[in-house]
């Protein structure tokens, strides 16, 4: 069973790695640096957050821990069960408790982290249901972002102005 799981899990990655090495795409990543950022307020971001050195360190960290954790979960974890042979009730209970704990902690993390990350937005929505001040602030922020997009994409501005003119004409025809 372990061999079958390892073969099925590792075959896809191996095929992908071999194909990528034989026929690389050589993508020019400079085009991604030309993407216009629409964020209004960058005060909360450190100056070097998107610097090459910081991104290189992040890449190294991700590869090191991602590869290490993958080897641990895909290869070493199943190997730890081999010496036991056939599981007795105590050993089976031990592994079941570990699996349930793993699932519980994982579930708590995937539920809690998005709530913590989005807490300010959730708070603003709740406050917005009570007061209109937050709503106006968000409308102004959204308007700024849309204007930034329109300025970044000239075709979008042209379409917007045509639609706006068309609606004005329709409104004046209805009034006449």
* CA distances from residue 6 to 3, 68, 85 in whole angstroms, order as listed: 5, 16, 18
pLDDT at 87: 85
Does residue 30 sit within a domain? no
The answer on 70 and 17 residing in a single domain is yes
pLDDT at 1: 62
CA distance 168 to 15: 58
Across 32-41, 57-66, 157-166, the highest mean pLDDT is recorded for 57-66
pLDDT at 175: 83
| Neighbour tally for 125: CB within 10 Å | 13
In this predicted structure, the answer to whether residue 154 has a pLDDT above a threshold of 80 is: no
**How confident is the prediction for the chain on average, in pLDDT?**
84
Does residue 156 sit within a domain? yes
Does residue 117 sit within a domain? no
What is the domain count for the chain? 2
In this predicted structure, the answer to whether residue 50 has a pLDDT above a threshold of 90 is: no
Structural domain boundaries enclosing 166: 122-175
Contact 141, 40 (CB under 8 A): yes
pLDDT at 68: 94
Q: Using one digit for the tens of pLDDT, what is the confidence trace for 78-108? A: 888 888 788 889 988 988 998 899 899 999 9
Q: In angstroms, how far is the first alpha carbon of the chain from the final one?
A: 79
Name, in order, each residue with C-beta under 8 angstroms of 44's C-beta and a sequence gap of 6 or more.
none
The answer on 76 and 2 residing in a single domain is yes
In this predicted structure, the answer to whether residue 46 has a pLDDT above a threshold of 90 is: no
Does residue 166 sit within a domain? yes
Q: How confident is the model at residue 73 (pLDDT cuts 50, 70, 90)?
A: confident
The answer on 126 and 76 residing in a single domain is no
Does residue 113 sit within a domain? no
pLDDT at 43: 60
Quote the pTM value. Answer: 0.42
Does residue 102 sit within a domain? no
CA distance 116 to 120: 8
Q: Using one digit for the tens of pLDDT, what is the confidence trace for 116-147? A: 999 998 988 887 777 777 677 888 888 888 88
CA distance 144 to 37: 12
The answer on 74 and 127 residing in a single domain is no
Which residue from 176, 143, 172, 173 is spatially nearest to 160, judged by alpha carbons? Answer: 143
Mean pLDDT of 61-72: 93
Does residue 93 sit within a domain? no
Does residue 32 sit within a domain? no
The answer on 138 and 63 residing in a single domain is no
CA distance 156 to 145: 13
- The DSSP symbol for 131 reads -
pLDDT at 136: 77
Least confident window among 33-37, 61-65, 118-122, 140-144? 33-37
């Amino acid at each position: 069973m372990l061999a079958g799981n390892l073969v099925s899990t590792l075959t896809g990655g191996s095929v992908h790695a071999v194909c990528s090495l034989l026929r690389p795409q050589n993508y020019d990543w400079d085009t991604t640096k030309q993407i216009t950022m629409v964020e209004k307020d960058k005060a909360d971001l450190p100056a070097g957050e998107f610097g090459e050195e910081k991104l290189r360190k992040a890449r190294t960290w991700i590869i090191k821990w991602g590869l290490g954790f993958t080897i641990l979960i895909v290869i070493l974890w199943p190997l730890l069960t081999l010496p036991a042979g056939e599981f007795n009730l105590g050993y089976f209970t031990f592994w079941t408790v570990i699996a349930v704990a793993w699932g519980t902690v994982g579930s708590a993390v995937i539920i809690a982290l998005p709530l913590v990350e989005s807490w300010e937005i959730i708070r603003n929505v709740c406050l917005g249901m009570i007061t209109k001040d937050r709503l106006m602030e968000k409308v102004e922020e959204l308007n700024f972002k849309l204007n930034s997009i329109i300025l970044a994409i000239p075709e979008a501005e042209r379409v917007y102005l045509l639609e706006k003119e068309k609606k004005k004409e329709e409104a004046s025809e209805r009034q006449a």
